[in-house]
Amino acid sequence: MTFNDVINEISFETFQDVIELSPRKVRETLFSHYGVKPKTSSLTSALKDKKLQKIKNLHVALKDAKSHQETEFIKEMLRNWLFNQRPLLKATLDFLNVKNDNGLVETETDFFKDLSEPEVKKLVDHLKPNFSRDSIMIYLTFVEVPNFNKYLKS
């Protein structure tokens, strides 16, 4: 699964959380780059409604992202969001018996790529009761866990 696939798969609510946890400068740069403006021009529209509309428009725009630069930008947004998902990171690493500091490790995470099918299934089954499908999908895509998606759907 690619990061572009992730953007297409996650719910708007998760995407909104990803954007809202991004630094303001990043959000404004994205809105500007994609020419995202609220569709409503009513002066009486609430600021919150305008912000929500801008995020919806950005979500639609990023679903069509194709360039390497856009993909890298999506990856960085998701990396930033994951830093705020420490319980998920910790639960995953603890389950795999990887020494961590509240979900953070000082070593490379290449070991995720080498997980066997049964290990992947057990990991996904372990995470599903406590974390959203979107959260699990983002994290396991980010760390390149193979073939996790088929277990996430069941």
Q: Which residue has the tokens 């980010």?
A: 142
Residue after which a domain boundary falls, among 36, 65, 83: 83
Residues 123 and 76 in one domain: no
pTM for the predicted model, two decimal places: 0.86
Higher per-residue pLDDT: 135 or 57: 135
54 contacts 37 by C-beta, under 8 angstroms? yes
50 contacts 40 by C-beta, under 8 angstroms? yes
Across the chain, what does the average pLDDT equal? 88
Residues 79 and 134 in one domain: no
Q: What does the block give as tokens for 35?
A: 């020419």
Higher per-residue pLDDT: 30 or 12: 12
Residues 77 and 96 in one domain: no
99 contacts 153 by C-beta, under 8 angstroms? no
Q: ∠ at Cα 134 (112, 69), nearest 5°?
A: 75
128 pLDDT band (50/70/90 cuts)? very high
Residues 113 and 145 in one domain: yes
Q: Which sign does the torsion angle of CA 112, 75, 55, 5 carry?
A: negative
Residue after which a domain boundary falls, among 39, 65, 83: 83
Q: What does the block give as tokens for 89?
A: 């990171």
19 pLDDT band (50/70/90 cuts)? very high
44 pLDDT band (50/70/90 cuts)? very low
Structural domain span for residue 21: 3-83
Residues 76 and 123 in one domain: no
Cα(73)–Cα(126) distance, integer angstroms = 30
Q: Domains in the chain: how many in total?
A: 2
Q: Is 120 exposed, middle or buried (0-12, 13-18, 19+ CB in 10 A)?
A: buried
pLDDT reported for residue 41: 53
Q: What does the block give as tokens for 154?
A: 């069941």
pLDDT reported for residue 154: 61
Per-residue pLDDT tens over the stretch 82-104: 999 999 999 999 999 999 999 98
Q: What DSSP element (H or E) covers 31?
A: helix 24-33
101 pairs with which residues across the strands? 104
Residues 98 and 133 in one domain: yes
